[in-house]
A and B are shown apart, each in its own frame.
Chain A
Amino acid sequence: MEIINYGYKKINNRDVIETIRPKAEETGVAVKFSEFKDQLFCGIDAADIKKFCSLLNSDPALSFEYIKFLTAVDYVEYIEMVYCLYSFKNNWSIIIKAKLDGQEPVVDSITSIYRGADWHEREMAEMFGIDIKGHPNLKNLLLAGDEDGFPLRKNFEIKWEEREYVPPEKFE
């Protein structure tokens, strides 16, 4: 395979905004940009996640092909999903945020676009109780499955309890 050199490029967030905004308006996604300490954030609706991510992934001028991470933050009235994408070609990083309902959060899965989001979404589903639609394999990843509640939510009580370990019957 040929070697591609990615060197140091100075980034200007204005360029990123100017490139993304017309394309997003074309596909009908409402985007709100904001900046904080040289980082670019953009807020979109939860229903537009798949459209926006596939636009960012497949467009050759944007080419945000790399998913850094995917996480969620629990503000009590709403849960905010955070997606962080990176483009190797232009050295642009972008952090996408989407607000979900606090009691019953539902979001689409982007595993079909970025295969690396697989385990990140599984972890968010078990830690926050987010219902991720379209995920191929939504089993528990890190937890044992015998907690009551979702650990990373703010209303999770941290208590100390002695429990008896019941091993599963067949390895699963």
Chain B
Amino acid sequence: MYEENEILLDDLPKDYMEVNFGPHHPSTHGVFRFIAKIDGERIIDIDPVIGYLHRGIEKIAENRTYMQFKPLVDRLDYTGALNNELCYCLAVEKLMDIEAPPRAQAIRVICAELNRIAAHLIFFGAMGLETGAFTPLLFGFLDRETILNIFEIMAGGRLTFNYITIGGVREDIPPAVRTYFDKFKKEFPVKLKRYEELITGNEIFIKRLKNVGILKKEDLFNWGASGPVLRGSGVKFDIRKVEPYSGYEKYDFDIPVGTNGDVYDRYLVRMEEIKQSMRIVAQALDNLPSGDFTAKVPRVIKPPEGEVYVRNEGTKGEVGFYIVSKGDKNPYRLKIRTPSFSHINMLNFAASGNYIADAIVILGSFDTVMGSCDR
């Protein structure tokens, strides 16, 4: 009779349950949808569907001049907007052989690093929300307010800035930035220590995040991952050290690396990067050179013919611009390489075979922004 039952079970049509984690989802990553085939609680296959935020920026670039296109670059990775602007301006400056003066370079470094702290605070909040704690989200956003106040008096905006231009920055920084940042530097490390005790040392967090989503570096190279995802797996590689741009070789900072390759290590890497960024901003503000804040740039920007690819260490990974110019006012082709695109590409590989709860946490550890993935 047991054999009869077995044959009966083999004849029944079996299929895995398909669940749709739709574009409206409380895990705060923007409009992202994935269709998961699950067997009980285990995921067999993930099929991500993107394109809900596709705005056709690359096609728009072919009909705008270089200066007209610059505000659109902010909207790519809107949590770390100044890094995108920096990369675009560096690419155009490389085509035109312009070099920004030292004061402008120092101001650019300050902007980029402060933006990195702000973006990592959002990651901190979102990571708490993935695992189910509501408080880290509010703590992260509250501390981000101080940084956004600094940005407001410096660049004029809180989320998108249009501050870094081709040849330098748009305006000089007011001296109040120094006072605001000193206050931030005194108060924030205390809070960071408190967050570490509350969250990083929390037993439940460690159980949720450790040994989940382990990725080896050969696979990561093959898939094209970069940034903290790569650094969490033991690759001590940072574009700011390997191909320094905008004066990064003058500053002294460490690169945090993880040894295990799991979600917990990527989380720790980003928390440590916040401290290193504060070091860089303190050094830059201490040794701010005097001089012009922008170089002499012709009125109409017409780069000579050629192609160039410049990359940058953005908040989430490697941001790159590939510009093909034919000597016109408009670029002929502009390709934007974003880290979120490559990371979501990797989601099926990284999350298959895990539980649903783990897949959400792994996606959170990649720290993707849909504006950057869909362009």
A and B touch in the complex (CB under 8 A): yes
A residues apposed to B, CB below 8 Å? 1-9, 36-37, 39, 41, 65-69, 71, 73-74, 82, 84, 88, 91, 95, 114-120, 140-144, 151-152, 156, 158, 171
| CB of B3, distance to nearest CB on chain A (Å) | 38
Besides A1-B259, A6-B236, A41-B307, 16 more A-B contacts (Cβ < 8 Å) are A6-B235, A8-B243, A37-B95, A65-B222, A66-B221, A68-B320, A69-B320, A82-B322, A84-B309, A116-B342, A119-B342, A119-B345, A120-B341, A140-B51, A143-B51, A158-B59
| CB atoms of B333 and A114 under 8 A apart | no
Between A and B, how many residue pairs show CB distances below 8 Å? 116
| CB atoms of A4 and B221 under 8 A apart | no
Chain B interface mostly = mixed
Interface size class of B (residues with CB under 8 A): 35 or more
| CB of A43, distance to nearest CB on chain B (Å) | 12
Nearest 10 CB-CB pairings of A with B: A116-B224, A142-B51, A116-B223, A1-B234, A69-B337, A65-B221, A6-B237, A71-B335, A5-B236, A119-B345
Q: Compute how far the CA of A36 lies from the CA of B94 in the bound complex, rounded to whole angstroms.
A: 11
| CB atoms of A1 and B237 under 8 A apart | no
Q: List 27 A-B contacts (CB under 8 A).
A: A1-B259, A3-B234, A3-B236, A3-B259, A6-B235, A6-B242, A8-B244, A9-B242, A36-B306, A36-B308, A37-B306, A39-B308, A65-B221, A68-B311, A69-B337, A71-B322, A73-B324, A74-B333, A84-B322, A88-B221, A115-B222, A119-B344, A140-B51, A142-B51, A151-B59, A158-B63, A171-B35
| CB of B350, distance to nearest CB on chain A (Å) | 12
| CB of B292, distance to nearest CB on chain A (Å) | 24
Instruction: Please give me the residue from chain A that is nearest to B307 by CB atom.
Output: A36
